[in-house]
């Protein structure tokens, strides 16, 4: 479970970077060259999702909980906005949902 969670974190960072760089280009007058590492990051994101042995829909659903968590850490570390108590509560709910999906007994 720890390896899966860490893989989800790396996957989330690659997705966020892949979306953040075009945002910098479009909203903050960044260089269009930001689109090259953005594309590479999104390709890495897609590849990382294939490393899980479970059904893709289940992986995407569970990944969503980790993505929300990593996005709020990004909000704090990169955007400089401290998450609110409501943000933290939402992360807790998302991670609980992720745990239910990933730890449910399978036949």
81-104 pLDDT, tens digit per residue, is 999 999 999 999 999 998 998 888
Rg (CA), the chain: 15
The total domain count for the chain is 1
Q: Which domain holds residue 47?
A: 2-103
pLDDT, averaged per 10 consecutive residues of the chain (107 residues), comes to: 88 96 96 97 94 80 91 95 97 93 85
The CA angle 65-57-101, to the nearest 5 degrees, is 50
pLDDT of amino acid 41: 98
Please say whether the beta carbons of 21 and 37 come within 8 A. yes
User: The tokens of 64 are what?
Assistant: 């969503």
Q: How many CB atoms within 10 Å of residue 26? A: 12
Give CA separation, 65 vs 23, 53, 59, 70, 87, in Å.
Answer: 23, 18, 10, 9, 13
């Amino acid at each position: 479970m720890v390896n899966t969670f860490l893989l989800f974190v790396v996957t989330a960072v690659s997705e966020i970077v892949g979306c953040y760089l075009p945002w910098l280009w479009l909203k903050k007058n960044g260089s269009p060259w930001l689109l090259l590492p953005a594309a590479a990051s999104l390709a890495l994101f897609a590849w990382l999702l294939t490393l899980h042995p479970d059904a893709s829909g289940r992986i995407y659903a569970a990944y969503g909980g980790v993505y929300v968590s990593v996005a709020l850490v990004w909000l704090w570390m990169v955007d400089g906005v401290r998450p609110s108590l409501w943000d933290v509560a939402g992360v807790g709910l998302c991670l609980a949902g992720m745990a239910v999906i990933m730890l449910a007994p399978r036949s």
